[in-house]
Chains A and B, each alone.
Chain A
Amino acid sequence: MSTVEAHVPGVFYRRPSPDAAPFIEAGSVVEAGQTIALIEIMKTFNEVKADKSCRVSKILLDDGDEVDVGQTMFEVDEP
């Protein structure tokens, strides 16, 4: 098991827009480079991308949660 940490502080979002489906669900298998969340920082949106192919086992934050640099957002396993 490894984790994905935030590189910037801001507000965490699981979906591209309020009425859209989440990028991923717990259990999703993702490819390297795939967008898995957004972090809003001063009204600009930064994409959080998977840095390797993996299975996301746990999502630790909810839509609209505050996130700080270094905070763990996801737990992931090798697929």
Chain B
Amino acid sequence: MTGLRRVLVANRGEIAVRIVRACHAAGVEAVAVYSDADENARWVQLADEAVHIGRSAAQKSYLDSDALLKAARSADVEAVHPGYGFLSENAAFARAIVEAGLVFVGPPPSAMEQMGDKAAARRAAQAAGVPVVPGSGPVDDPEDAVRVAEEVGYPLLVKAAAGGGGRGIRPVADAAELVDVLPGARAEARSAFGDGTVYLERAVPGARHVEVQVLADEHGNVVHLFERDCSVQRRRQKLLEEAPASDLRESTRQAITSAAVRLAGHVGYRNAGTVEFLVDSDENFYFIEMNTRVQVEHPITEAITGVDVIAEQLRIAGGAALTLEQDSVERRGVAIEMRINAEDPERDFAPTPGEITALHLPGGPGVRVDTGIVRGDRISPFYDSLIAKLICWGADREQAYARAGQALAEFHVGGVASTISLHRRLTADPRLRAGPVHTGWLEESRAGD
């Protein structure tokens, strides 16, 4: 039992479908929301009730917190699940939900604020004894920045304090470039995140991106569900993820997962969250940020642990104690997730909105497809480009990649270009199949192709 009766799913697409399903499996009613463009969408049809919240442009619907609060009141729900993206990491929205007497299916707004400000998150990590990449506090004028940069060391990254999801990051090689980049970085941070604060962080060349999934309840229990390797990226956007991180020493795995648990405990975290690290070639690891929401790639963690992360989110939000103890969380096999996006890899990943004229989804042992799309739907220009997530599990890496290859061979999307072709090449690439790659690998290898 979750302790909840009726939940508003304040999102769209595959994650809305995923949350509606988890609600129903837990005996909870689910109320969907939809914009003009999504009136006939799959999650709307699966839900017990659906509320129209506005125009197609996200600013006028899924990003309109007043419209969502109004929907929650009119549908008489007791909780709101924000999914990922949109308002999921917006502390003001979470606070408004709580002040309306409703349950926010996520962390307390105070923990979101602390982790949402990257400079504050770094300080929290240091206070919790978690290593961070050498870096600075907020930097203001160029003179100050150059002085601080000498201590941090080049090459470095200028990062937006309020940034996230790989956005608001600029690489810098030397002082001249830093002075050049700073005004633009501040302006970009202000316009993208509403806060122009930036800070400096040393670049860690050749590092892997490894992140730890944690769950925490209001009774002081925190567990981790092991780690994911998300190093296959393009322009800092994840394309393919794997769990667990391959070829990681057991001592490193233990250290990194316990660091994540320590940080979550230190900041009074609650619900599902992810602590992100860079891991260098010597397996030194450094905290970079915490995502205070469920993530796109949570299914690979579910595949290797058997834990239903969304169901746990609902239980925790309902006030229940975690039924999981750390010793009871077992890791089995290897899982890969591939993001099938409506983008054309042959035309520099140009977005390809349009009607899905055909859709053949793969199946078989160890194969899971999460999607909010059915044949005949339109991939709308108003939202992100995710068509589906393909998750393949195997007893080991070799079987997981073999199943991924077969699933991709079966997977067909008609009407729009997609990243299926890219994933076919990637999952057959001997360099990726041989073991871990670093975060710059995909772009370097594509440049060399």
**Which residues of A are in contact with B by a Cβ distance under 8 Å?**
8-11, 16-20, 40-44, 64-66
Contacts and interface: CB of A to CB of B under 8 A. Distances in A.
A46 to B, nearest CB: 9
Contacts of B190: 17, 19
Contacts of B57: 11, 64-66
Given A17-B187, A17-B191, A41-B351, A66 B384 contact: no
Contacts of B60: 64
A16 B342 CA distance: 25
16 contacts: A11-B59, A17-B187, A18-B191, A19-B191, A20-B191, A41-B351, A41-B381, A42-B343, A42-B351, A42-B382, A42-B385, A43-B384, A44-B351, A64-B60, A66-B55, A66-B57
Closest 8 CB pairs of A and B: A17-B191, A42-B351, A10-B381, A41-B381, A9-B381, A42-B385, A11-B57, A41-B351
Contacts of A44: 351
Contacts of A64: 57, 59-60
B406 interface: no
Nearest to B58: A11
B187 A42 contact: no
Interface in B57-74: 57, 59-60
Nearest to A9: B381
A44 B129 CA distance: 39
Contacts of B351: 41-42, 44
Interface of B: 55-57, 59-60, 187-188, 190-192, 342-343, 351, 353, 381-385
Given A17-B190, A42-B382, 18 more contacts: A9-B381, A10-B381, A10-B382, A11-B381, A11-B382, A16-B191, A17-B188, A17-B192, A18-B191, A19-B190, A40-B381, A41-B353, A41-B381, A42-B343, A42-B353, A43-B385, A64-B57, A66-B382
Contact of B342 (A8, A18, A42, A65): A42
Contacts of A42: 342-343, 351, 353, 381-385
B189 to A, nearest CB: 10
A9 to B, nearest CB: 4
A27 B355 CA distance: 38
Nearest to A39: B381
Contact of B381 (A8, A19, A20, A65): A8
B243 to A, nearest CB: 26
Residue among B190, B342, B381, B384 with the highest chain A CB neighbour number at 10 A: B381
A65 B60 CA distance: 9
Contacts of B342: 42
A40 B381 CA distance: 8
Contacts of A19: 190-191
A47 to B, nearest CB: 14
Nearest to A68: B381
Nearest to B57: A11
A64 B188 CA distance: 19
Nearest to B196: A19
Contacts of B383: 42-43
B353 A9 contact: yes
A10 B383 CA distance: 9
A64 B61 CA distance: 12
Contacts of A8: 381
Contacts of A65: 57
B352 to A, nearest CB: 9
A10 B382 CA distance: 6
Contacts of A43: 383-385
A58 to B, nearest CB: 22
B306 to A, nearest CB: 34
Contacts of B188: 17
